[in-house]
Amino acid sequence: MTKLNLYLVRHGQTYFNIYNKLQGWSNSPLTEKGKQNARDAGERLKNIHFDAAFCSDTTRAMETIQTILDLNQADSVKHPVTSPYFREEFYGSYEGTNMDVAWYNAGAPHGYKNFHDIVTKYSIGKAKDWLKDADPFHDAENNAEYWERMDKGIDLVRNADLPDDANVLWVSHGNTLLSLVERFGGGKYDVTVRPKNGSLTTATLTDNNFKIVDYDK
């Protein structure tokens, strides 16, 4: 059974992050601080050999991961595999909306005013379901739709024909990291607050298991 060591980095800060907007599938440029987040992550990981690298096809993820790979000094792969499977949750008509407004609209019909309260009482999955319900176009991904896509991304990593104990770099997104930690973290971590830009979470992936090793929010 092949075991892969995953290094999950949240992309660098973007302008939508500063403006507290849901980003999802939308593209927002990295700020100067965001570019520094990427360089900091690259310095932190520069001596780790990566046999493979993956990220979504959004500019914030691609720029972050390429910065990390360019700074690497351990003969790692030079470029990532990009795929829409690794994208952040799609927020439908709430793309670009102030996060507080969007999550209020999702939770208010059920008696909850924000993302924190929805997740504390229920789950991130419930927050996804309620946001789709609140989306007038119903284009936002619900929990089942999100995981149907994300599971394809996980399988893309799992089936990448890598050696046992290979190191894999994966630049991801805030809600996606929370979703992975909620599902595979064994209930050990607080998933009500998004991880910092450039933060590192480690995990292991085998043929039949995904396990969070350390969540650095």
Sheet containing strand 81-82, strands side by side: 81-82, 52-55, 166-172, 4-10, 200-205, 210-215
Half-sphere exposure in the Cβ direction for 183 (13 Å, CA): 19
Structure confidence by residue, pLDDT tens digits, 112-146? 999 999 999 999 999 999 999 999 999 999 999 99
Mean pLDDT of the residues in the chain: 97
Q: Tell me how crowded residue 6 is: count the other CB atoms within 10 A of its CB.
A: 23
pLDDT of residue 146: 98
Structure confidence by residue, pLDDT tens digits, 178-204? 999 999 999 999 999 999 999 999 999
Residues annotated as part of the active site: 11, 88
Structure confidence by residue, pLDDT tens digits, 60-70? 999 999 999 99
Cα distance between residue 13 and residue 33, in whole Å: 6
Query: Given the DSSP bridges, would you call strands 200-205 and 52-55 parallel, antiparallel or unpaired?
Result: unpaired
Angle at 77 between CA 55 and CA 53, to 5 degrees: 20
Q: Is the pLDDT of residue 151 over 80?
A: yes
Structure confidence by residue, pLDDT tens digits, 81-96? 999 999 999 999 999 9
Structure confidence by residue, pLDDT tens digits, 44-56? 999 999 999 999 9
Confidence of residue 147 (pLDDT cuts 50, 70, 90): very high
